Amino acid sequence: MAEKEAKSIDKANLEMIDKAAKDGCNIVFDRAEAMKPCPIGQEGSCCSVCAMGPCRVPLPKGKEETPEEKKKRRGVCGATSETIAARNFLRKIAAGSAAHSDHGRRVVEAFLAIAKGETKDFVLKDEQKLLQLALDLGIEIGDRSNNEIAVEVGEILMAEFGKQEGELLFLKRAPLKRQEIWHKLGVAPRGIDREVVEAMHRTHMGVDQDYNNLLLQGSRCALADGWGGSMIATDLQDIMFGTPAPVASQINLGVLKEDEVNIIIHGHEPHLAEALAVVCQEPEMIKYAKSKGANGINLAGMCCTANEILMRHGVPIAGNYLQQETAIVTGAVEAMVVDVQCIMQGIVEAATCYHTKIITTDPRAKIQGATHLEFDDIHALDSARKMLKMAIDNFPNRKKNVYIPKEQKADMIAGFSHETINYLLGGLYRASYRPLNDNIINGRIRGLAGVVGCNNARVTHDEVHVTLCKELIKNDVLVLQTGCSAMATAKAGLMVPEAAKYCGDGLRSVCETVGIPPVLHMGSCVDNSRILIAATAVVKDGGLGDDISDLPAAGVAPEWMSEKALSIGQYFVSSGVYTIFGVNWPTLGNKEVTDFLFKGMEGLYGGMWDFEPDPYKQAKLVIDHIDKKRKALGLDKARERVLYDMSMRQQLD
């Protein structure tokens, strides 16, 4: 990775990597060069769950291990490399599931505060989605007010976190066959917190030491994320702040403005971002910015908070995960306001080279050297004003080393929620997935791929996402995206209808007819729950099997980095989806565990994991899998739907 071009395909980022070097600013790409990954930890062969270790049990390289040698490959307590690999894997899933679900819990708290009228700063925006959710939960509607209904919705969903028995309510949204599989395997989550706690208990020294049993809990804990915490977050965020609909915006560091106060909101939970989006437009705040010599206020997003306010308001995105420091390197960011998750501690150090203020806002996520201004849900707008004022006051402190790569920004269309796809395909009065299913059946669309997840400094920034997605659409695979992956392809120009020119003939004709890009932005990482709902809607519409595992569909996280990505992957696999991860794979130190994940899970769940870092090979694996599923469905030859006329019917009779 010594060559600059090996660090990123994004020209904005490359320019800023140069600038950082000139300014003497140490950033993630420098640290990745200085710090090589530990090969033993990377393959899941290091156990640090007790103080007799850490014990290292790496797979011998370059020779076949004898059974005798394998027997000796154990920790001090006698733990086998299977147990160690499975335990490490489950702990990562638990951390990822906890992160998404604690986000979900905070969303329910904010939702209840609005529903109970404790805050006047927000109202519940999507009445239709509220009522639909109330019906799903069996809540009486009658002539009750929306707020009364919402309080009951919020209380029922809050109870999902602490539930001890039964199973999560949203599991009922899955295809029946999928629910039966979960019941048969005993992996239907009971309560969200319970599954995370149990995962941590089982992986404590001397508890669960059967890798099969540990990995079953991996599914239960991950399903509590996908069909629990994340799904609750998505649904309630939509009701509070609006269900996304198509919206135009721009992305990359070029959205920053030289003559305005630039404030970047970075993290995951949308309430603060929503409040900032409101106060940044207030005439008094703009006047105040002008009094400090700026021409206005420019709000931009970073990471998944960016996706949230992009999807609902069209707020531009400054960049994805590996741009959080390079945004600061422009020297033009007055404040970076952060909440939780995916915030590199390095931003505080990077900010010392410039004038940027790093403002932490959540009691769960403080950083030494940052300014802490706690966000208050109840007085959300006042909180946001304080942060914005701090940014404005910082405008006159800009140093001389300001440079924004102005040319580097791309147009994009986002806002493809499940509801929007339903509407776009079927229309308001007959909203349906039928046209999508028909186009899959007739072969114009070969299949679906969910391409999601992070950036990772161990691979060229954005390259795997973009190369993979171009390969997929060229082969008529419609791509659904979330997270930082969505930002990578948006920057590369794949999220505009004109990107149809990169598609195969079939997908191009569908995109041109419906007027959609071939790569659809479905939101943040908790919004992977939208992909579960969309996949279920495709199953329920008929003609493509009776479970998610029957669909010609696959998932990929080409540049994954976070534990949340592993939780997402595990709930996709446990929901029946063939799921490929790039970069590296955290159980390669043990063959049995890896075989279970890559092969054994297919027999149990109909979905399985795979590992492949090369984007062209990833695309081939996705396409081969889609073709295998098409064949199983009898769709291996493209077929036009035959519409019977009267004489044909008579012949049939």
| Residue from 254, 331, 450, 483 in contact with ligand BF8 (CB under 6 A) | 483
Q: How far is the CB of 37 from ligand BF8 (least distance, A)?
A: 17
| CB within 8 Å of 638: residues ≥ 6 apart | 442, 443, 444, 506
Is 453 a residue that touches ligand BF8 (CB under 6 A)? yes
Q: Is 298 helix (H, G, I), strand (E, B) or coil?
A: strand
| Three-class SS of 597-638 | HHHHHHHHHCCCEEECCCHHHHHHHHHHHHHHHHHHCCCCCC
Give CA separation, 525 vs 267, 490, 562, in Å.
11, 16, 11
- Does 322 bind ligand BF8 (CB under 6 A)? Our answer is no
Report the nearest approach of ligand BF8 to the CB of residue 36 (Å): 21
One DSSP character per residue, 535-562 reads: HHHHHHHSSS-SSGGGSSEEEEETT--S
Amino acid identity for residue 312 in this structure? R
In the bound complex, what is the minimum distance in angstroms from residue 235's beta carbon to ligand BF8? 17
CB of 26 to ligand BF8, least distance (A): 20
For residue 429, the minimal CB distance to ligand BF8 (Å) is 36
At closest approach, how far in Å is the CB of 561 from ligand BF8? 6
* Smaller CB separation from ligand BF8, 304 or 311: 304
Q: Are 301 and 269 in contact (CB under 8 A)?
A: no
Nearer of residues 216 and 322 to ligand BF8, judged by Cβ:
322
89 with 566: CB under 8 angstroms? yes
- Of residues 89, 122, 170, 321, which one binds ligand BF8 by CB under 6 A? 321
Does 454 engage in binding with ligand BF8 (CB under 6 A)?
yes
Rounded Cα distance between 600 and 579, Å, is 14
Residue 24: CB atoms within 10 A of its CB come to 7
Q: Least separation, in Å, of the C-beta of 557 and ligand BF8?
A: 8
Q: Does position 338 bind ligand BF8 by CB under 6 A?
A: no
| 234: CB partners within 8 A, 6+ apart | 523, 526, 527, 529, 530
**What strands, in cross-sheet order, belong to the sheet with 247-251?**
371-372, 357-360, 335-338, 261-266, 297-302, 317-319, 247-251, 410-414
Kindly state the tokens that stand for 427: 């229309």
Cβ proximity to ligand BF8: between 203 and 524 the closer is 524
The single-letter DSSP state of residue 188 is -
- What is the smallest separation between the CB atom of 524 and ligand BF8, expressed in angstroms? 6
Q: Strand order in 578-581's β-sheet?
A: 519-521, 477-481, 447-451, 553-557, 578-581, 609-611
Least gap, CB of 448 to ligand BF8 (angstroms): 19
Site for ligand BF8 in 511-550 (CB under 6 A): 524-525
Task: Kindly state the tokens that stand for 196.
Answer: 């995370």
Question: Among residues 333 and 593, whose Cβ is nearest to ligand BF8?
Answer: 333
Nearer to ligand BF8 by C-beta: 87 or 268?
268
Q: How far is the CB of 320 from ligand BF8 (least distance, A)?
A: 6
Q: Which residue has the tokens 């090969």?
A: 39
HEC string of 334-390 equals CEEEECCCCCCCHHHHHHCCCCCEEEECECCECCCCCEECCCCCCCHHHHHHHHHHH
Our CB check for ligand BF8 shows the closer of 319 and 415 to be 319
The CB-of-485 to ligand BF8 minimum distance in angstroms stands at 7
For residue 414, the SS3 value is strand
Nearer to ligand BF8, 490 or 551 (CB): 490
Distance CA 231, CA 243 (A): 13
Residue 421 or 561: the one with the smaller Cβ distance to ligand BF8 is 561
The nearest distance, CB 545 to ligand BF8, in angstroms, is 29
Q: Does 129 bind ligand BF8 (CB under 6 A)?
A: no
Element (H, E) at 164: none
Asked if residue 303 binds ligand BF8 (CB under 6 A), the reply is yes
Q: Rounded distance, CA 211 to CA 568, Å?
A: 20
Say how many residues touch ligand BF8, by CB under 6 A.
Answer: 15
**Footprint of ligand BF8 on residues 547-576 (CB under 6 A)?**
561-562, 564-565
Q: How far apart are CA 374 and CA 381, in angstroms?
A: 12
Triad 370, 372, 373: Cα angle to 5°: 140
The distance of closest approach from Cβ of residue 484 to ligand BF8 in the complex, given in angstroms and rounded to an integer, is 3
Residues 6+ apart with CB under 8 A from 230: 100, 101, 103, 104, 525, 526, 527, 528, 529
Q: Is residue 346 part of the contact set for ligand BF8 (CB under 6 A)? A: no
Residue closer to ligand BF8 by CB (options 81, 524) is: 524
Identified binder of ligand BF8 from the candidate list 484, 516, 519, 554, rule CB under 6 A: 484
The answer to whether 432 and 281 have CB atoms below 8 angstroms apart is no
Q: Which of 272, 311, 342, 451 binds ligand BF8 (CB under 6 A)?
A: 342
Q: CB nearer to ligand BF8: give 405 or 453.
A: 453
Nearer to ligand BF8, 417 or 439 (CB): 417
Q: Is 304 in the site for ligand BF8 (CB under 6 A)?
A: yes
* Interaction of residue 105 with ligand BF8, rule CB under 6 A: no
Nearest approach, Cβ of residue 2 and ligand BF8 (Å): 24
Site for ligand BF8 in 249-268 (CB under 6 A): 268
Task: Give me the residues that bind ligand BF8 (CB under 6 A), please.
Answer: 268, 303-304, 321, 342, 453-454, 483-484, 524-525, 561-562, 564-565
